Each structure stands twice: as structure tokens, then as C-alpha cells.
Chains A and B, each alone.
Chain A
């Protein structure tokens, strides 16, 4: 029988490639659009060489309500009718595919490069652009009229921060439109994952977005473990969860401090700056490195964590919780802070759904979406962290959500460490299943991290796709600036705090 749609599967179960249906483009589009209409989400969509000169496009959908995933592929040569007009959340994926494979999504409303590199297909060029692309050089959305002016910022910014280019179309102080061009951080990471796993693979993923070392390393480890059919010892599962929540705490704390700093409220800014570093120090107690390098490895952990280290984390956790509470609660009771946070940079729930926001940014717009709850793996299958959501979609919501998540992460770590069992933390991963598809989802501190891999007949990676939460969310930042004073840009930007290198890879 000819397959008629996407093949459903459970998160954590690898799928033999022969079971992934190859659909005609018309059928593929229809199945994809129907699924999105029905409330599913696009978590990954990417291309790879099909071998016959065409490019195979692999899409992975998530059904958050039922907790199932679905996949299908289609083959295209030069172009196909774009799905973005009917499914805006596909817009960035289609731009990425166009740039990487010189495949034109016909009718895409704003087809431009996202990373500014030459296509992977030899001799091809990005539709509309010939030769080697220059970073940031593209056809910007542009407004005309009296008193309309353009402000350009970056790639090098004023702070200690990664590079990106921002173009504002302003009328007086009011921003009508913000266009974000990235790609300055493009290191060509994904292409070097093919043929792996090898001695470099885990290090690539630990540095895909360095502030999300645990998140990406966990996604990678979980993917390999599916392909190798190994069960990770429970002590390792727990400690991975603890490390993931410590990473969330460090970054959320840093963001809360930075938000306070951006509205000129220095007490919280300086306290949180210090406390953030102390969360990183807790990760270093576990593994020696503040960012958790070397902690998560396929099959479990790369380090043995002794009882003294656990006791040290437990001890410091209590003090840090009190310090953090005292620092953050100042925000909510300070009128000058609240006046700047509330009703600044609003993203409506409808817009958030439409463009497929993830993580705290989605939850701040009222969408209770969280991988730890919807597609749990590892320890999260046994220990639930309640999902918080807030309705207002403004800077306040994005700040407040972070604070709720901090409190819940602390409670989770405390509980998990109090009942941590003894035992091994590592099992060996043998060869990976050949010709198989694996998908791995992790709720990193910025939101959904998705890794997708296809293995070849020898069990090596034939294709590896990383989707950092920033990939979904950069456009959310652009939306939050609409009709906003340009002076609110730093504040809005901090409230998203997205990754440049995680996007650019």
C-alpha cells in the first residue's frame, strides 16, 4: 500500500528508515499542512542529499497533546510550492533549506539567507543570489515616507555579546519593523557531524551553544542511546536532570539580573550577576567545569560524582535559594521596574502559536508548552515539573516565568538529590542501528532543543540536524518590537536572550 501521510512514533523510539514514508511533494505538503491545522508543530525540517541529484526533505512534527512525533520525507530537485503562506512557522526552515540546498520554496514571502554561506550543493547558489554571499548583505524590508528612518546596529554590539545585525524601520521613536540578520557566528558545525559519532562529536554539541552545554549534550546523548538501544543507569539520569536544571537556574538568574540592569535597577542586577556565577560553580562541583563540559556522555555521565560533591551542592543550594529569592523579589515590588516591564514588547498568544515560539517565551504568551512535560525523557518521565504559563506576553511575563521556573528547578534538584541512589553512571554504547531515524527533544533553558539524525548502512551519521530554540524564537523578538519605542530594544532583547551561535551553528 502506498503510504498516505506521516508515520507516527513515540519520542525515544528510533524508526527504521524504510518505515519513514517517501511522499510526493503534493501529498507531503497536504499532510504537513493538515497536521499543522490540527494543532501539531514543526520541530525540525531539513534537507540532505538523496543520492540521485535530488534533495530529500525530512520533516518531524510534534503532537504536544498526545505526546507523539511523526515523520515523512519528500524529494525535490530545484523547487516546490512554499508552505509558509499557509504555515508561517515553516518560514525559517524553508529559508534554511533554500540557503543550504539551493531549493526554492516558490511563493515564500521573504526568501533571504539566514546564515550567509555558500550552498552545500556544488555549483548551486541561493535562489536570487549569485556567487558567494556577503554577511548581512541582502534585500532588507524597507519603508519610505517623511520622517521614516532606518537604524542599523551590529554585527559588533556595545556589550560583551555575540554578533548579529539589526535593522529598525522607525517613525520617530517608534519601531514599525525590526529585521534581524544573523550568520556571523556560522562555524559549519552540522556538516562536521556527518560520518560520526567520532572523537569530536560530543565536543561539537557541547559548544553548539556554549551556555546550553548540558541541554545540547543531553539531546545528543539521548539520540545515541536510542540508536544503540542502551538503558542509562538511573543515577546518571538523575544527575543529568540536576545539571539541566542548574543550567536553567544559572541562565534565568543571569537574565533576571540583566533585565534589572536594563531598566537601571542596580541592586538586583548586581546580586543576580554574582548568584548566576554561583550556579555555574555548582555545576563545576559536579564535573570540574562551570558549563558542564564533560558531564553528559552517551550512555550516562563522563564523570563519577562522589557523595562529597552531592553534599556540597545540597548545602550551597539552600543558601543560593535564599539569596536568589531576596534579589529577585525586589523586582516585583519596585514600581519603577514594573512600569518598564509591563506592557513592553508584547507578543500575543495568537502570534506566538502562529510562528511556533518555544520555551519561556511561548509560556509567557500563555502557551503551556514544555518538553519536560509533553515529551519527557530520562528522569523527567518519573519526576514532573509543573509547567508555568503567564498570559500577558510582555517583558514582565518573560521575566516572571523565569522566576517561577527557577523556584521549580530548585525544588526539583533538592528532591532528586535527597533520594539519589548509588550505582553506576555509565554503560557502554555499542554500534548504532544502521539506516535508522532518531529524534531527540530536550527542554533547554531557552526552550525546545531538537536533534535529528539518520544513520547510514554502517551506523554512522548520514545526516544530523540541530534545532536550537533560538531558531524558532528570533522572529518572536522581531515581533515584540512592533510599535515599540526603539529605546526598549535592549530590554526586549534581554527578555528573549537568544543564542546567536546556536542559531548560526
Chain B
């Protein structure tokens, strides 16, 4: 008992006072891309280097970046020396509509709250069933980490449950492999309505790197209606938490 108490003292209180305090991210963190309004001379080269086809250019060499496909690898930023596109430290990336993930010059859209009825139903208590459908265990790990002391997801009334029957919705990771399609659909069917679907990570949002594979689909949206998209490879835990809270109308 004494040993446990001593350890308890050493470990201190670790829960971060979020959302009151802004999270501290490493200096090299890559968040929301910022697209320069001027045309980029070597746009074709940037597009050529992107592993997932996330970045594209219109005929006038103006760039667009789909954060739903982006791995945040920074190849494009390096190729243009940060002139055409650079990655800011903005960790809030989640969006309701798939189209809102397409970043052009100027402002991007953050996830807005659910409609009133859904917020009334889930806003104070959201139970989620997690399904990994080809995820590489990075997204899964950074979803799981929300249950640790630092984030303490439970204090927001959000909880992962063991059975889809007890859930209000699914949180899906991975591009949806063919071998998981049936299991994912059955899990979705087992969730009582009204229900929501959250896609976490580039694979779940768009198929990511695996979008054109025979063994996979191109993300959850091909199979189920998605209510919230969280970009990243994998998304930072703060990005996921921000998305969830924004979605529930818990932060403006």
C-alpha cells in the first residue's frame, strides 16, 4: 500500500486541462496546410511527388490540397520551399463534409456541430464502437490514447464500448479491406438507430495510400454514410479529440 501511494505521488496529476488550455505540439508538427494564393511555377513537380495524389493544381497552377488523402509527409512543402504550400501548426483538421477537406487558398472549414436533435441525443453521452478495417495500428493507437490520463476522454462523456448494440455509432479506421467489409457492415447494422459514423485517418477517409488496391476499398464513405472526417496519418490525438468535441457541439 505504501509503495502504491509513493508511486501515486511521483506520478502526479496528469490530465491536461483541455479545451481550456491549448495543446502544446512539437515545433516540427504538421497541421493544416496553407495554400499560397499565387500560382506555383513547379506545380507539376509537386503533384508528381505526392504519394497519394492529395495535391493537385488547376490549369492556372493554383494548388489545392485534399487533407482527406494527405499523409502530411511534407514532400510538397519541401519541393516548393514552402512557397506554394506550407504546413501550419493548426491541429484542428476535422470536418463534417468530405468536400470541406479540400483546401484551397484562403480559409478552410472546421467541423460544425451536429444538428440540434442529434446534439440533444449524443451531446452529453456518446458511446462508440471502434472498428479497424485495415488500419495499420497507428490510428488505432492514437484513438486508444484518448483513454489515458492525459486526455481522459471519459470526462467528456465519450466512451468506447465492447458491443455495437451498446453503441451510438462507429469510429472506423483503415481503408476497409475486402476481408473486413462484411464484418464492418454487420457491426454497423447492429448499432441501433439513430447512429453516426466517424472516419479517422487518411485510409478511412479516402483509402489513403491504399485507395487503388484490389484488396481494399477507398475508405469508409464507399460503404457507410460518414458524419465526421478526421484527416491525418495518423491524426494527432488532439486532432481527434477536437473533432469529437466540435461535432458534439462541446466547443465552438
Contacts and interface: CB of A to CB of B under 8 A. Distances in A.
A303 B209 CA distance: 21
A277 B141 CA distance: 9
A131 interface: no
Interface in B126-160: 129-145, 147-150, 160
B73 interface: yes
B8 A500 contact: no
Given A163-B183, A209-B137, A333-B3, A267 B8 contact: yes
Given A209-B137, A211-B137, A284-B26, A185 B180 contact: yes
Contacts of A2: none
B209 A158 contact: no
A122 interface: no
A137 to B, nearest CB: 11
A284 B73 CA distance: 13
B209 A200 contact: yes
A403 to B, nearest CB: 15
Interface stretch (B59-67, B95-103, B113-121, B213-221): B213-221
B174 A185 contact: yes
A330 B4 contact: yes
Nearest to B174: A185
A123 interface: no
B150 to A, nearest CB: 5
Contacts of B51: 199-200, 203
B125 interface: no
B177 A186 contact: yes
Interface in A128-151: 135
B26 A285 contact: yes
Interface in A250-280: 254, 267, 270-271, 273-274, 276-277, 280
Interface string B204-234: 0000011001111000000000000000011
Given A163-B132, A288-B30, A187 B177 contact: yes
Q: Which of A184, A276, A309 has the most CB of B within 10 A?
A: A184
B4 A187 contact: no
B162 interface: yes
B10 interface: yes
Nearest to B4: A267
Contacts of A287: 28
B187 A210 contact: no
A33 B138 CA distance: 39
Contacts of B139: 210
Nearest to B138: A210
Contacts of B52: 200, 203
A124 to B, nearest CB: 16
Interface string B7-36: 110110010000000000011111000000
B39 interface: no
A162 B163 CA distance: 15
B214 A188 contact: yes
A314 B159 CA distance: 35
A280 B25 CA distance: 12
B50 interface: yes
A209 B140 CA distance: 11
Contact of B26 (A270, A281, A294): A281
Interface in A158-210: 158-163, 183-189, 192, 199-200, 203-204, 207-210
Given A156-B187, A200-B209, A274-B149, A211 B141 contact: yes
Given A185-B174, A210-B141, A270 B210 contact: no
A192 B213 contact: yes
A385 B215 CA distance: 40
A274 B180 contact: no
B236 interface: yes
Contacts of B177: 184-187, 504
B179 interface: yes
B49 interface: yes
A377 interface: no
Given A116-B179, A185-B134, A290 B236 contact: yes
B11 A323 contact: yes
Given A160-B160, A267-B7, A270-B149, A204 B209 contact: yes
Contacts of B149: 270-271, 273-274
Contacts of A291: 138, 141, 234
Contact of A293 (B7, B71, B183): B71
A31 to B, nearest CB: 34
Interface in A323-337: 323, 326-327, 330, 333
B134 A187 contact: yes
A322 B11 CA distance: 9
B175 interface: yes
Contacts of B74: 294
A244 B131 CA distance: 28
Given A271-B7, A330-B7, A203 B213 contact: no
B251 interface: no
Contact of A277 (B143, B150, B163, B213): B150
B75 interface: yes
Contacts of A309: 27-28
A139 to B, nearest CB: 18
19 contacts: A116-B179, A117-B179, A135-B182, A159-B160, A161-B132, A162-B140, A163-B131, A185-B174, A187-B177, A208-B136, A210-B135, A210-B138, A210-B140, A273-B147, A274-B11, A287-B28, A288-B27, A291-B138, A330-B4
Given A159-B144, A203-B73, A330-B7, 12 more contacts: A160-B130, A185-B134, A186-B178, A186-B179, A187-B175, A199-B48, A203-B52, A288-B30, A291-B138, A303-B28, A323-B11, A327-B11
